[in-house]
Structure 1
Amino acid sequence: MSQNGYNKTQAALVKAVIMLCKPLIRLLIEKGMTFPQFRELMKELYVEVADKHFSLDDNKPSDSRIFVLTGVHRKDVKRIRQQAESGSEQITSSASLSGEIVARWTSMPDYIDDKGKPRQLLKNSKSNEAGFEQLVSSVNKDVRPKVILEEWLRLNIVRLKDDFVILNKSAFVTNKEFTEMAYYLGHNVHDHMASCVNNILVEADPMLERSVYYASLTEDSVNKLKTIASKKGNDLLQHLNKQAIKLYDADKHKDDATHRMRLGVYWYQAQLDKDKESEE
């Protein structure tokens, strides 16, 4: 491939990656995963994928080869591979800023009452009693407490009562429904993206990956199409599920029953951005 062709390929890929990452970044920010956490996670994933898919002559790639392929420093490559071999948790253990602040609020003697519960904190404490500003500053002096407070009020992590900041009981409690939705986000979108990547990298026998797109429609028209899509999509999934159950019952004890499949149906609608052809 010529340098010009390579540059065009890279530009097209970057454009696609930016578009597909925007909804993900929005979710990460909303749920408190910071850029340093995401950066470390991406570093680990680069090493994992290079280790799995870019071997030579069936030999695992060396640390130097992974460095060349990914740009991840050899010291980090070695550390990440050792963690993987020892079964260490992949996701970085460093907590988000909000998590660190809440952890202090719920455990440090200055911020809990006689019963060990997080006490109400003065928003602007000027006495010797530790308040909300002191709490935030004890974790990070580069962030203004007012910024944290405004974001926490938006997320319903805290509430205000007179001059006091109160930590809500629901703050950072595990949400079963969110956990399930996150599970399907990972699995469904992974397989959809894997199908797309397969069709780009493997020319023979492309996988099914189709969509219907129309713009310049009224909200009423979009809702009519949504009703049709929901009905037809559900019918398709139910029909395929019935067929899959029959085949699974016949195949499950066979020695060559080593394959899996997933068919997904999705719907997305939004108002058009006046300055762009599609809404991101």
Structure 2
Amino acid sequence: MPPPSPPATLLHALRHVMQPLVRLMLRKGITYTFFADMLKGIFVEVADKEFRLDDKSPSDSRISLITGVHRKDVRRLRDAPQDPSEELPEAVSLGAHLVSTWLSKPPFCVQPGTAAPLARLASVGGERSFDALVAHVSKDIRARVVLDEWQRLGIARIDELDRVHLETSAFVPQKGFDEKAAYFGHNVHDHACAAVHNLTADGPAFFERSVHYDALSPASIERLREAVAADGMQALIAFNALASELEAGDASTSTPRQRMTIGLYFYTEESAPPPEASDSGKTES
């Protein structure tokens, strides 16, 4: 008995989702044949981890059956070295922790959500210095190393009084492809996980909502862009402050730990042209 056909609505959605990803791959020289082989590995990996019976590792034949990947390829891919951890790289994770501390913890912030200008050196600013900020988060890295990298990425700047200013309210590098790619993988993965959960899992849904219009002028788009940049960032800063406070309280407990991501995005492009009027004056549906 042949397996049931996948829902046409899902196939349409997947095709739509893949278009910007294929655009990125083509711009960065990733061909179909390269990606297809990588995709085989992902099918095998997910089937091995998430489609087990009685928590037993599935056989090569079962993985081949449910994925459509040839059994010889299944064996080859299962024997291949696994990709490194999908967690954010240490440098990116440290940077996010530093920005969170700078935005939410005195004496590094003017008020929660507003990072204070910090003296570059502890010998000048004491506890309210960039040296002290880095030392507060990690004793294993020199503040000068962090600052040099942040200046390269456009995250921080030094003024004429030798004070360090935060140039972005979240750790999103303005430069540096590798750092941006790390966030791309993290954010798109977690957004997709929430959406897939809401399509396939029982129980409470993850919050995933959006607002969309298709007949706005460029001037209106700019007003909305500015509103999202201001009000949206304030919402994220408030969530960051709450998460930081809760994490500090959880540090003294032994309950299992969970990670979470809260995201907000804005996108715009040209709308599809309206259907042309017919001779009778009606528009086509």
TM-score (ref. length: structure 1): 0.62
Residue deviations 1:74-103 (CA, integer Å, cap 9, x gap): 00001111114xx5789xxxxxxxxxxxxx
Higher relative contact order (CA 8 A, sep 6+): 2
Q: Which amino acid aligns with 1:243?
A: L
Deviation at 1:250, TM superposition (A): 1.5
String of CA shifts for 1:99-126, please: whole Å, max 9, x gaps: xxxxxxxxxxxxxxxxxxxxxxxxxxxx
- Report the counterpart of residue 124 of structure 1 in structure 2: none
1:14 paired with 2:3, answer no
Aligned-residue offset at 1:204: 1.5
Q: Secondary structure at the match of 1:266?
A: coil
Q: Shift in Å at residue 238 of structure 1?
A: 0.3
SS in 2 for 1:15: helix
Counterpart residue type for residue 193 of structure 1: A
Tell me how large the CA RMSD over aligned residues is: 2.2
Q: Is the 8 A contact 1:67 1:73 kept in 2?
A: yes
User: Residue 176 of structure 2 aligns to a residue in which SS?
Assistant: helix
Q: Which residue of 2 aligns with 1:195?
A: 194
Aligned-pair CA distance for 1:273: 2.6
Rounded to whole Å, the distance in 2 between the matches of 1:26 and 1:272 is: 19
1:52 aligned partner = 49
Which amino acid in the other structure matches residue 77 of structure 2?
Answer: I
Q: For the residues of structure 1 that align with 2:51 and 2:209, how far apart are their CA atoms? A: 29
**Residue 192 (structure 1) shift:** 0.3
Match status 1:27 vs 2:24: yes
Distance of 1:88 and 1:243 partners within structure 2: 33
User: Counterpart of 1:93?
Assistant: none
Task: Give runs of aligned pairs for residues 162-181 of structure 1, distance below 5 A.
Answer: 177-181=176-180
- In structure 2, what is the equivalent of residue 270 of structure 1? 269
Once the two structures are TM-superposed, the CA of residue 13 in structure 1 deviates from its matched residue by 1.1
Show CA shifts across 1:185-210 (max 9, x none).
Answer: 11000000100000011131000000
Letter in 1 for 2:20: P
**Aligned position for 1:80:** 77
Provide structure 1 residue ranges, at least 5 long, that are not aligned to the other structure: 91-175
Shift of 1:257: 3.7
Identity of matched residues, %: 39
TM-score under structure 2 normalisation? 0.61
- Which residue of structure 1 aligns with residue 218 of structure 2? 219
Listed one character per residue, the Cα deviations across residues 5-61 of structure 1 (whole Å, up to 9, x for unaligned) are x54x52111101111111110110000111111001100000000001000011011
Does structure 2 retain, via aligned residues, the 8 Å contact 1:251–1:257?
A: no
Aligned to 1:159: none
Shift of 1:272: 1.1
Distance in 2 between residues matched to 1:203 and 1:196, nearest whole Å: 13
Segments ≥4 residues shifted beyond 4 Å: 87-90
Tell me the equivalent position of 2:280: none
Between the aligned partners of 1:253 and 1:273, the Cα distance in structure 2 is: 54
Distance, in Å, in 1 between the alignment partners of 2:228 and 2:55 is: 45
**C-alpha deviations, 1:141-191, integer Å up to 9, x for none?**
xxxxxxxxxxxxxxxxxxxxxxxxxxxxxxxxxxx7111111111100000
Q: Following TM superposition, by how much is the alpha carbon of 1:227 offset from its aligned partner in structure 2, in angstroms? A: 1.2
For 1:257 and 1:89, how far apart are their aligned partners in 2? 23
Q: How many residues align?
A: 185
What is the CA distance between 1:253 and its match in structure 2?
A: 4.4
